[in-house]
Structure 1
Amino acid sequence: MWYFLIKQGDLDTKQYQNLQKQALLTEVERFNEPYESWYIFSVEKADYADFMNLLDREGIAYELATERPTRAEMLEAMK
């Protein structure tokens, strides 16, 4: 499984909906100010390249992980 992490503010509604259709699971990790909330798209290994190509074509910045980061890990990375 691959996890694509995208800042909520980096996507418009249409992009979000298109990515949701491609992902196996979509989660939202909400944070309070001054931190940004994140979308976490879970993608199976077989769909990894197609999902990444879609993000690259749309010019969407993302972070990639092979294990789902915990909320604490995400918060620490933003500090």
Structure 2
Amino acid sequence: MIGIAAGLFGLVVAFFLYNKVNSIKIENETVAKITERIYDGAMAFLWAEYRLLSGFIVVVAVALLLGGEEKASGLRP
């Protein structure tokens, strides 16, 4: 129960921090360009990572499905 409460508290704090950072207006054009480039780079990285992880998940899922099932002796009477 404490873990669930801590997780919910963390989500609430993250939500408030996100809104606080997102409400800051960028007036300097140079800072705005740098911010945009950082955002573009982060999104490109996440896209590449998700694509790689998707392939890994598919390979592992197929291996688990095709691997069959071993029956452990002694577990079933």
Normalised-by-shorter TM-score class = under 0.3
Q: Would you tell me which structure has more helix in proportion to its own residues? A: 2
TM-score, structure 1 as length reference:
0.21
Task: Return the structure number with greater relative CO, CA threshold 8 A, min gap 6.
Answer: 1
Task: Mark the structure with the bigger radius of gyration.
Answer: 2
